[in-house]
């Protein structure tokens, strides 16, 4: 009987595919941001005055984009690098990043700003407005400037209200003679909550907008490639695996274009490989990771009872070919041959090619499989069939249960 220490040491002594797992974490700030150069360039243009004529204006920029489109990491990367460049030029600049989902009131935002700027503010007995005055005085005394990023700003609008936003945006309106030391980056998923603001405040926020579109599969591949080189040992993750994750999530392939989700799937796939003692991350590891990261497997299994018998058999054939090949996609011809073999084993007459193709297209419409024309790297034209959810052995067992249940209920 192994002791508790033996059990722990057996885990600690196992080899890992990871050399630096944290490089896949959401909070990691990479030095290079593929496909966000345009947004970084726009931020640099908006805040260029801070390096040329600091204090002349108070800048406000709005970053807008869905979850996982790179808004937060771009703002943080810009803030870190811009602060460094300012300091090189003798300008005392700070960057403060506040998550308004956590610090959801004006008072909590002021408290967090003062903490990051190391302003000695008594947090009891002062209002948010009084705390802000102390922060402004602190900046003036130290000849300091600051860029404050308010993340999840649309949430802040809905919770804190229009008056709180007005107070922030119009900081220097009543005192135009003051040196403008505070600048803002507002980060929002969309602009719908801006309608809750008064017209003047909304107009202020709409002046400088930088949009972040969802990532395509090609863009996600570049991101994953860069992160994988940092996170995994050489040879642990193939380009096929990275391409597969990118295709699952890429907006051009029907995914959300969420880079955070793509990185999470890759991280989970690596962790599954480690638990199994595998030396490489495989397509099957990705399928299983995807089922953990998204509810797709539940949707697929829930859809199975509504399929016709031969649709189930075609799906079963696709699962078996993909399991055997260990690749993300199988040719239509391979799946059709396996389907014919299954029909022969079950004593059923297989459907013609045209009908099988219709089954494949219906399975695609239902979101159960992926199907696309073959491209570069394939001889001849064919339809490629893939299944992004997993594990495939679980899916195969469920299909077999349903096949057995419906065989006697449908004609050949």
CA-based torsion, 328, 331, 334, 338: positive or negative: positive
Beta bridge partners of 225: none
Q: What is the CATH number of domain 298-406?
A: 1.10.10.10
Give the per-residue pLDDT at 10.
57
Q: Which pairing describes strands 145-151 and 329-331: parallel, antiparallel, or unpaired?
A: unpaired
Q: Is 378 helix (H, G, I), strand (E, B) or coil?
A: coil
Pair 343, 349: CB distance under 8 Å: yes
Q: Is 99 helix (H, G, I), strand (E, B) or coil?
A: strand
Pair 46, 186: CB distance under 8 Å: no
Give the per-residue pLDDT at 266.
97
For the entire predicted model, the pTM comes to: 0.79
| CA of residue 100 relative to chain centroid, distance | 19
Beta bridge partners of 276: none
Q: Is 274 helix (H, G, I), strand (E, B) or coil?
A: helix
Count Cβ atoms below 10 Å from residue 217 Cβ, excluding itself: 21
Give the separation between CA 142 and CA 139, rounded to whole angstroms.
5
Would you say the CATH fold of 298-406 matches that of 36-212? no
For the chain, residues with pLDDT lower than 50 are none
Give the separation between CA 329 and CA 298, rounded to whole angstroms.
21
Give the per-residue pLDDT at 9.
60
Give the per-residue pLDDT at 275.
93
Pair 85, 233: CB distance under 8 Å: no
Pair 151, 75: CB distance under 8 Å: yes
Give the per-residue pLDDT at 11.
57
Q: What share of the chain is helix, strand, coil (3-state, %, to 5)?
A: 55, 10, 35
Give the per-residue pLDDT at 307.
87
> Which string of DSSP letters, residue by residue, matches 137-191?
HHHHHTT-EEEEEEETHHHHHHHH-HHHHHHHHTTTTS-TTS---EEEEEEES-S
Lookup: tokens for 403: 């096949």
Give the per-residue pLDDT at 262.
95
Cite the DSSP H helix spans in 179-308.
Answer: 199-205, 217-231, 239-249, 259-276, 283-293, 296-303
| Domain range summary for the chain, segments of one domain joined by + | 36-212, 216-294, 298-406
**Chain segment 148-181, per-residue pLDDT in tens:** 999 999 889 988 888 899 888 888 887 777 899 9
Contacts of 7 (CB under 8 A, 6+ apart): none
Is the domain 216-294 a CATH 1.10.8.60 member? Answer: yes
Beta bridge partners of 98: 150
Q: What is the CATH number of domain 36-212?
A: 3.40.50.300
Give the separation between CA 204 and CA 202, rounded to whole angstroms.
5
Q: Where on the phi/psi map is residue 235: left (φ > 0), alpha (ψ -120 to 50), or beta?
A: left
| CA of residue 399 relative to chain centroid, distance | 31
Residue found under tokens 């249940």: 405
Give the per-residue pLDDT at 246.
96
Residue found under tokens 């099988």: 356
**Cis geometry, peptide bond prior to residue 391 (ω within 30 degrees of 0):** yes
Pair 29, 77: CB distance under 8 Å: yes
**Chain segment 189-242, per-residue pLDDT in tens:** 988 888 888 888 888 888 899 999 999 999 999 999 999 999 999 999 999 999
Q: Is 56 helix (H, G, I), strand (E, B) or coil?
A: coil
């Amino acid at each position: 009987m192994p002791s508790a220490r033996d059990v722990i040491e057996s885990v600690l002594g196992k080899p890992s595919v990871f050399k630096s797992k944290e490089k896949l974490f959401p909070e990691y700030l990479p030095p290079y941001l593929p496909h966000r150069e345009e947004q970084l360039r726009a931020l640099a243009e908006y805040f260029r005055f801070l390096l040329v004529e600091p204090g002349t204006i108070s800048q406000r920029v709005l970053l807008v984009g869905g979850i996982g489109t790179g808004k937060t990491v771009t703002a943080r990367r810009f803030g870190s690098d811009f602060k460094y460049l300012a300091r090189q030029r003798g300008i005392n600049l700070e960057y403060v990043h506040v998550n308004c989902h956590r610090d959801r009131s004006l008072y909590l935002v002021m408290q967090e700003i003062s903490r990051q700027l190391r302003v000695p503010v008594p947090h009891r007995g002062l209002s948010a407005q009084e705390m802000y005055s102390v922060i402004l005085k602190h900046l003036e005394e130290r000849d300091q400037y600051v860029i404050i990023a308010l993340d999840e700003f649309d949430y802040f609008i809905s919770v804190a209200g229009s008056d709180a936003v007005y107070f922030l945006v119009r900081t220097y309106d009543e005192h135009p003679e003051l040196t403008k030391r505070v600048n803002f980056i507002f980060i929002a998923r969309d602009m719908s909550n801006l309608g809750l603001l008064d017209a003047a405040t909304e107009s202020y926020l709409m002046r400088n907008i930088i949009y972040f579109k969802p990532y395509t599969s090609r863009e996600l591949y570049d991101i994953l490639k860069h992160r994988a080189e940092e996170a995994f040992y050489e040879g642990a993750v193939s380009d096929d695996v990275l391409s597969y994750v990118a295709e699952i999530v890429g907006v051009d392939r029907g995914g959300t274009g969420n880079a955070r989700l793509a990185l999470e799937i890759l991280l989970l796939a690596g962790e599954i490989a480690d638990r199994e003692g595998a030396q490489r991350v495989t397509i099957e590891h990705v399928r299983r990771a995807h089922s953990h990261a998204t509810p797709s497997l539940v949707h697929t299994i829930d859809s199975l009872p509504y399929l016709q018998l031969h649709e189930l058999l075609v799906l079963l054939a696709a699962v078996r070919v993909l399991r055997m090949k260990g690749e993300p996609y199988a040719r239509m011809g391979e799946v059709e041959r396996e389907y014919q073999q299954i029909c022969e084993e079950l004593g059923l007459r297989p459907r013609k090619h045209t009908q099988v193709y219709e089954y494949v297209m219906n399975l695609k419409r239902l979101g159960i499989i992926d199907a696309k024309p073959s491209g570069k790297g394939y001889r001849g034209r064919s339809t490629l069939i893939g299944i992004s959810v997993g594990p495939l052995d679980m899916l195969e067992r469920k299909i077999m249960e349903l096949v057995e249940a419906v065989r006697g209920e449908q004609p050949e």
